[in-house]
Structure formats: structure tokens, C-alpha cells
Amino acid sequence: MMTECRRRSTRFPLEFPALLRWHVGRLMHTVRTKTKNISRSGLYLQLQNDHKPNSRIEFEVELPPSPTAETGALLRGKGRLIRREDLGNQVSGFAAVIDRYEFITTTPTVTPDSPVETKPADPAPAERTSSKKSASRRAAARA
């Protein structure tokens, strides 16, 4: 018997450092984690079981430079957690839908006595969105 695949886009097995934020009441919780895979419509994150974010999240994923470039990028966005699964050893996997995202190019910053770090190169990058409402608002603003 064949099962139907619910995924809308191809997942790529990419493990990158990530920062995840969510609100609990008035408090903003932040945790460092990593991705397990990423697609154009979602991502999968691994977290310790004691972190229980609600359904709305903000995320930042550090993308390394390509082999032909000196700059990396930061994938920053907002989304919603849609599934949690227990992976054992106090770790859970969280699947999230990406509602809105932007890519920010990073440039290396070198100081005389410190290791190389990166910082955003473009303070106001173009925003990408998969939301039909946002696209129609932008179209109305241009008219």
C-alpha cells in the first residue's frame, strides 16, 4: 500500500547552527540549537525536551559561505511549530512551517586579537514571504 506524502517541497539534510525564539506571556525565550533539515517551506530543529515553545516562533539559521564566496548568510524568519517528536536522550525534534523569511549576507569581521566572526552586511534586506496577504499588501502599496 502506498502512502501519500504531505510535504510541499524537497527537504535538504542540512545541519546548521540556529537560534530559536518564542514568547511565553511577556517573556521572550531564546535557545541555541541546530537544524536537521531545511526546505523552502519549513525546517526541522532539534531541542532539549525541557524547551516547550508555543506555536509561533522566530528563527535565525547561520548559513556558511559557498566554496566560491567569502561571505555566508543568515536565514531569518518567522514561522509556526506544527509537530514535535521525542528523539530520546532528552532531545525532541520540532517541525516548523516558515511563514516569512529573509536572507542577510554576512561579511567576515576580523579584529587583531580575536577569531573571525560574522556580522550582517545589509541592514535592510529585501523580505521574502510565502503569505498571500503580505504579497497583496505589497502590490497595493506599489499601486
Chain-centre distance for alpha carbon 88: 23
Q: For residue 67, name the pLDDT band (cuts at 50, 70, 90).
A: confident
**pLDDT tens readout for residues 10-47:** 999 999 999 999 988 899 999 999 999 999 999 999 98
Q: Taking a C-beta distance cutoff of 8 angstroms, is the pair 15, 36 a contact?
A: yes
The yes-or-no verdict on residue 115 having pLDDT over 70 is: no
Mean pLDDT over 69-88 rounds to 91
- Average pLDDT, stretch 77-89? 92
3-state DSSP call for residue 135? helix
Supply φ then ψ for residue 136, to 5 degrees.
Answer: -70, -35
Class of domain 17-142: mainly beta
Residue type, position 11, single letter: R
Q: E strand or H helix at 137, and its extent? A: helix 132-142
Residue 117: pLDDT over 50? no
Where do the domains of the chain lie? 17-142
